Amino acid sequence: AQSVAQPEDQVNVAEGNPLTVKCTYSVSGNPYLFWYVQYPNRGLQFLLKYITGDNLVKGSYGFEAEFNKSQTSFHLKKPSALVSDSALYFCAVRAPFNKLIFGAGTRLAVHP
């Protein structure tokens, strides 16, 4: 069965520093992986996805994610964090019947 793990409940980063939000997955077959961001009292916004091809995927707001098949990981990264990046981030994997299996979420706090 497909599953997603986000090992960190919270990540704290200083503004201007690089950030990484970790995600590992377990799937049978080819993985289709997604990152979403949720700002307070808002819905989920799509950031980026990996379907096939280049292991480094670029997305919205300067975010990128690196797909690593051998480590079954899909970590979200940004070279220079902004205070406005503070939000809840979800990693998800596509399951049969178009379902998304979500991780528990990681809260990113960027401090000035």
Partner 1 sequence: NAGVTQTPKFQVLKTGQSMTLQCAQDMNHEYMSWYRQDPGMGLRLIHYSVGEGTTAKGEVPDGYNVSRSTTEDFPLRLLSAAPSQTSVYFCASSLLAGISGNTIYFGEGSWLTVV
Tokens for 39, please give them: 């700002």
Tokens for 110, please give them: 């960027």
Least Å distance, CB 103 to partner 1, is 6
CB 77 within 8 A of CB 62: no
Least Å distance, CB 111 to partner 1, is 23
Rounded Cα distance between 56 and 75, Å, is 10
Which amino acid would we find at residue 41? N
Establish if 97 lies at the interface with partner 1 (CB under 8 A): yes
The residue within the footprint of partner 1, chosen from 41, 54, 70, 112 (CB under 8 A), is: 41
With contacts defined by CB under 8 A, name the span among 12-20, 40-48, 62-70, 77-85 that binds partner 1. 40-48
Establish if 67 lies at the interface with partner 1 (CB under 8 A): no
With contacts defined by CB under 8 A, name the span among 15-23, 62-70, 71-79, 101-109 that binds partner 1. 101-109
The residue within the footprint of partner 1, chosen from 12, 45, 55, 71 (CB under 8 A), is: 45
Among 103, 24, 29, residue whose Cα is nearest residue 67: 24
Tokens for 103, please give them: 């991780």
- For β-strands 33-38 and 44-50, DSSP reports them as antiparallel
Residues at the contact surface with partner 1, assessed by CB under 8 A: 4, 9, 30, 32, 34, 36, 41-46, 49, 51, 90, 94, 97-100, 102-105
